[in-house]
Amino acid sequence: MAAERHRTGAAGGSPDRGRAVYFGPGGCSGCHSASADPTEPSTGPQLTPALLSADAARAGKPLGAFAAESILVPGAYVAAGYVSGTMQPAPGLSRQQVDDLVSYLIGKPYMSPATGQLALPARPIVACKASKECRATVTRWAVAERLPVSALDGARITAVVGCLSCHRYAGSGVKSGSAPELTRVGLEQTTVAQHVKRLRCPACVRAGSVMPSYVALGNANLRRIAVFLQASRGTRR
């Protein structure tokens, strides 16, 4: 697996501090067990280093980056046997707390990349097509919303890169904070270029936006998402 990239001149994560976050008020332990004991209650996946490593390998991502993404964008990868959208993004965590929490989960100090970009699938359309759940979701959207063929690749990308962790679309996903419902977003007077700009740099369009940048997907994939968003007009309604 690729080596983790680190921020220079910044303090790394601490497993001890991360343990305090994990077991603290509103922490992960309310839903996840960090024990390998199968009899220990765990609403969400058990978060042992071995199980996390196995899921990271299946997702094709470095362990630390995978754990950080799973905290910030839970829908980017869903463990086998669990339902997408059940876990919502952890609110109010600083980058240092995320680094600490990841350090605790992987058992060694971790430092997140300086860019703050998401660890996204290199080929998101292929990733969706390889997932039975993702294929079924996009098929349902296409039928319910009468999406044109030109919008389907954008729908596939949207379904697999974590958008549904904060937005809802045609009954899928989880609404988080002020993140808007996307089913009727095509009725707004927003051009493809404007959608792409927002995806590349959300804070450039709306100051203070907490939405992460999707610039790592590349211009072609951002445009595919924009075409999908423009075609989303709430047809079934």
| Sequence ranges of the domains in the chain | 15-106, 124-231
Q: Which of 53, 90, 56, 47 is nearest to 71 (CA)?
A: 90
Q: Which of 92-101, 113-122, 163-172 has the lowest mean pLDDT?
A: 113-122
What is the second-level CATH architecture of the domain 15-106? Orthogonal Bundle (1.10)
Predicted TM-score (pTM) of the model is: 0.56
Distant-in-sequence, close-in-space partners of 217: CB < 8 Å, separation ≥ 6: 120, 124, 157, 161, 199, 225
CATH code linked to domain 124-231: 2.60.40.420
Instruction: Categorize the per-residue pLDDT at 19 as very low, low, confident or very high, splitting at 50, 70 and 90.
Output: very high
State the Cα–Cα distance between residues 136 and 13, nearest whole angstrom.
Answer: 39
